Structure 1
């Protein structure tokens, strides 16, 4: 499959350049390059016609003054552009900013989650990804969510499945419903397979037998392996396994230690992913950092680079376009100082040098991009005010944090004062129509109050040591604007603006990273015990993670859907 098919004229020129009958647009003269097909570092001429590689080999062809001739230093080496096979491009950064950051690190393509776009934009999400494709230098393909927000909209689902920028369904979080015989879900999954699309699973801690049933349904890959044994389980059942290194699951070093040198692990069916990391993690630990970790763990250089190039290209059926340095492929590749340093010095994207000496050659007009983003993601929250009397809890079950994102229920005595590790937590409907109130344990005892429009459901989370504190922080958020606002016991305050739909920043990755890094530091100074507080806020309303969550239907147990407390409607007269 080709991402960007050639026009007839481009096709004719490509063949003519490959035969030396027409001068190339770019000539990398006698360059060292990694041949991922043979596993060798080779040296030869690389000729580019338009946006594709026309020739790789020893022969010198005629050129003209219009040919750009590049002579790299002897130590430098050309490698295929990296591929991020599993991305969530709306994690406080926005999809455009995500692409800028990825391209700078040599990832020429990411395969992205469309769930946030569906929730924020509905039917307009398709026009957004089309416009993004036109204005961004980074290539973005998409997977289509089919088991959550599009559950009842077969027409919209079919529209996404037919779109040329969509190459996968997923990530499949509601697989347990399929195994229990959910007919509607089975029919939707069958639609995806009939459209000849890949489907990716979300299978943390799932048994061999259940993965077997999921594999029979046509799920082709999973990124939730927690250890080497999990990887082996997936490989045995014919799935590809993406090894993850993210801010909340930095499992990669331990997984690599378990599989390095073991012949049972067929590395041709393994990929690397950062799985939508926090911004401050993204800047340091994307694909180049993962490749380096692989080599440090004992994988050969060619094995490590294949995990981020040829393997994901092959899995997605994109190896006619990406994954290697060869004729006919897109001219999307990286120039490194050496194979031991995967962070690129130069990045060519579709025949154009986008990064040179680690500097952006054609920076975007930030004001124009921000205006475009704001046209799609205006503020959507209806500002509401609360008084303490409106915050009424029901029941005596609260939420206890096990780690950044996993929770469990705990019991408290209603009406008793808060314990040292407890805070009140309120979920306020984005339209201001209802609240859901209980307690949270193990969050951060030094946080007097916190408000966040950054949540999986799009509603506003309010956490505080008193009902009055919750009301006050909400009022201040209304005045400052959407985002995360935290007040600490020492009197300090911190505000992270998220003006794009209340969930994304309009700033660049460095700005977002700095803000989130400071937020994480302040939270840990005030009692937060885990890695990434932003993900805790995000996933308190997520439906696919154990064990107890908040949503419009109430405080409920994920495993069986049992509702422990219902929302309280607000008097909005």
Structure 2
């Protein structure tokens, strides 16, 4: 996986924008959902390789292929900010056929069960899928391996040194969910994991079930960046007040979106620091109701403005992981992750583009994602 721009990529993107080379794809006649400016306007999107070259409606660049989008909304690919592959009981390849047609192009995965059993080799085995996938798999490096030291024999250990090394991988974007006991009981090993992670300018995911007051302040002071365990609006607001972002979860057993979004709207809370995740969502429910697009659609149905809901699934998430220069918006130089939809209030993608390639149409992958 080539996540960051190289010299060659930058040069080719610039020269293509100057008309020196033809683009690979032009998405003509779209209603561009610009999550930076907050506008929706008619334009064209020019793509070279896996990057967006231009969104200028007046640009007249050449392209090998032109796709007339007939005024459909062009929306950035959706980001699931916290999930576990193990819950789906599918391989990364098999999961593609379920989530990608719903518009999810980035999955941020804490592989904690795999890590607890198979350790680093298990993580490496999962990453072998990356180059075959029609979506981006990023790793929240498991912080608790084993989860309950001394009480289990799961087979693997990721100590502070091992976590620090794995955190250097390009695919590693954060330290995975860290429960409060590791901080409130001042366990040095976990504080070392936090310190090494933030020194690399990566973030720490939280798991602060029920914590409020001074305990929450202490927890946040260690450097924890977010929490996906909010079930009440009081918990959501408490986390925002201490500088933690909230991952609004809608999974299978934990369905928190309605209560949280209703509270956000009632109290007129700013939505800039809200993101969406599934955490644990079973495949049959994804097939029936959707993936992150379900979170977006349900939030809109509850009264959230479409731009706010879309931002929670795109640019807010990318900014949180400090990757908004790479994806999360349809803007020049970013990865060309685009979904096309006819209705902005009920987003059911007709076409999904990942890194410049059409990977799903009308609810199905364009090509089967084969196992290695």
RCO higher in 1 or 2 (8 Å CA, sep ≥ 6)? 2
Partner of 1:21: 20
**Which ranges in structure 2 are unaligned for 5 or more consecutive residues?**
147-155
What is the CA-CA distance between 1:262 and the residue it aligns to? 2.3
Partner of 1:227: 232
1-side partners of 2:82 and 2:235: how far apart? 18
Within-5 A mapping of 1:31-110? 31-63=30-62, 67-74=64-71, 76-91=72-87, 92-110=89-107
What is the CA-CA distance between 1:3 and the residue it aligns to? 5.9
Q: The residue matched to 1:90 in structure 2 has which SS? A: helix
Q: Could you list the runs of 4 or more consecutive aligned residues of structure 1 that deviate by over 4 angstroms after TM superposition?
A: none
Judged with a 3 Å threshold, the aligned counterparts in structure 2 of structure 1 residues 289 and 126 are, in CA distance, closer, same or farther, namely closer
1-side partners of 2:122 and 2:97: how far apart? 20
Within-5 A mapping of 1:108-507? 108-149=105-146, 153-173=159-179, 175-263=180-268, 265-283=269-287, 284-365=289-370, 369=371, 372=372
2-side partners of 1:81 and 1:177: how far apart? 35
Q: Compare the two structures and name the one with the higher helix fraction.
A: 2
Q: The residue matched to 2:86 in structure 1 has which SS? A: coil
What is the CA-CA distance between 1:158 and the residue it aligns to? 2.2
Q: TM-score, normalised to structure 1's length?
A: 0.61
What is the CA-CA distance between 1:156 and the residue it aligns to? 2.1
CA contact (8 A) 1:99 1:139 kept: no
Which deviates more, 119-128 or 44-53? 119-128
2-side partners of 1:204 and 1:126: how far apart? 26
CA contact (8 A) 1:47 1:56 kept: yes
CA contact (8 A) 1:291 1:308 kept: yes
What is the CA-CA distance between 1:93 and the residue it aligns to? 2.3
What is the CA-CA distance between 1:7 and the residue it aligns to? 4.1
2-side partners of 1:42 and 1:268: how far apart? 22
Larger radius of gyration: 1
Judged with a 3 Å threshold, the aligned counterparts in structure 2 of structure 1 residues 21 and 125 are, in CA distance, closer, same or farther, namely same
Q: How big is each residue's C-alpha offset from its partner over 1:163-204, in whole Å with a ceiling of 9 and x where there is no partner?
A: 11101002112x223212222322232222223221111111
What is the CA-CA distance between 1:364 and the residue it aligns to? 2.5
2-side partners of 1:180 and 1:120: how far apart? 25
Q: TM-score, normalised to structure 2's length?
A: 0.92
Judged with a 3 Å threshold, the aligned counterparts in structure 2 of structure 1 residues 181 and 13 are, in CA distance, closer, same or farther, namely closer
Q: How big is each residue's C-alpha offset from its partner over 1:256-308, in whole Å with a ceiling of 9 and x where there is no partner?
A: 11111423x22000011111212222222421111111111111110010010
Q: How many residues align?
A: 361
Partner of 1:480: none
Judged with a 3 Å threshold, the aligned counterparts in structure 2 of structure 1 residues 153 and 176 are, in CA distance, closer, same or farther, namely closer
What is the CA-CA distance between 1:151 and the residue it aligns to? 5.7
2-side partners of 1:112 and 1:326: how far apart? 25
1-side partners of 2:186 and 2:6: how far apart? 46
Judged with a 3 Å threshold, the aligned counterparts in structure 2 of structure 1 residues 155 and 273 are, in CA distance, closer, same or farther, namely same
CA RMSD in angstroms, aligned pairs only: 1.8
Judged with a 3 Å threshold, the aligned counterparts in structure 2 of structure 1 residues 50 and 299 are, in CA distance, closer, same or farther, namely same
2-side partners of 1:202 and 1:219: how far apart? 9
